[in-house]
Amino acid sequence: GEDVEQSLFLSVREGDSSVINCTYTDSSSTYLYWYKQEPGAGLQLLTYIFSNMDMKQDQRLTVLLNKKDKHLSLRIADTQTGDSAIYFCAEKGGATNKLIFGTGTLLAVQP
Amino acid sequence: EAEVAQSPRYKITEKSQAVAFWCDPISGHATLYWYRQILGQGPELLVQFQDESVVDDSQLPKDRFSAERLKGVDSTLKIQPAELGDSAMYLCASSLRQADIQYFGAGTRLSVL
């Protein structure tokens, strides 16, 4: 079945780079997404990557996709305290188009 | 900037009572989704509408949950009767078409006592 896994917690110092990792199981996924959720709020789309790409860069964000290993990562350069939040990886299954979310990674940025 | 609107933001109810949540998608978005997010977990799809039709409700507990989108615009999700395990964040999302990016509302936080 479809499953998405993430590490639970990451702590970095302000100004450092953060790397959040995700593994998924559905090889037919067409798109993979990164969403950000601040406390008590909904999900904000950060970026996404099409499955035939291996890298996408958008300002401070870099997404790397290893389709062979079904591994996705999100790198945040120059991490700021405002980046503290929960980050969700999600895959979109080809058959149903529904999003399957990971459990989320809590990013804590220390000043 | 257009947003997905949800109300109420917070709802406290006693078990066995009925509750209802409302969602207004971004104007022109044909596809509407209801997700449930239990604390510490990622969102899980409950129901997906294409215009006024349900296209996926395989994870909706149909004995107590119902959802409608009568005119293909706004939508209501109802729980009757509420149980303690229903305490969660209920998120609504919309997309222009089924395969497009989903945009989320701020959610309704439900606490069942």
Cα-only R_g, chain A: 13
Test B42 with A4 for CB contact under 8 angstroms.
yes
Confidence label for A39 from pLDDT (cuts 50, 70 and 90): confident
Burial of B39 (0-12, 13-18, 19+ CB in 10 A): exposed
Mutate: best of A23, A44, A98, A101, partner B, most B CBs <10 A: A98
Q: What is the mean pLDDT of chain B?
A: 94
Instruction: Over range B16-44, report the average pLDDT.
Output: 95
Q: Is the dihedral of CA A40, B112, B23, B42 positive or negative?
A: positive
Structure tokens at A33: 């997404």
B48, A40: Cβ pair inside 8 Å?
no
Contacts of residue A52, Cβ cutoff 8 Å, sequence gap at least 6: none
CA angle B37, B40, B42 (to 5 degrees): 45
Return the HEC string of chain B: CCCCEEECCEEEECCCCCEEEEEECCCCCCEEEEEEECCCCCCEEEEEEECCEEEECCCCCCCCEEEECCCCCCEEEEECCCCHHHCEEEEEEEECCCCCCCEECCCEEEEEC
> Number of A:B CB contacts under 8 A?
48
Beta bridge partners of B77: B21, B67
Judge: A42–B4 Cβ closer than 8 Å, yes or no.
Answer: yes
* Residue to substitute from B41, B102, B110, interface A, most A β-carbons within 10 A: B102
Query: DSSP code of A42?
Result: -
- Residue A44: list chain B partners with CB under 8 A: 104
Output the pLDDT for position A96. Answer: 61
pLDDT band at B88 (very low <50, low <70, confident <90, very high): very high
Per the structure block, which two tokens stand in for A68?
A: 């062979």
Nearest to B56 among A45, A92, A96 (CB): A96
Q: Which pLDDT tens digit goes with each residue over A65-111? A: 999 999 999 999 999 999 999 999 999 875 567 899 999 999 999 99
Residues of chain B with pLDDT > 90, as a percent, come to 89
- Chain B residues in contact with A20 by the CB 8 A cut-off are none
User: Rounded to whole angstroms, how far apart are CA atoms A44 and B105?
Assistant: 9
- Could B104 and A42 be called an inter-chain contact, meaning their C-beta atoms sit closer than 8 Å? yes
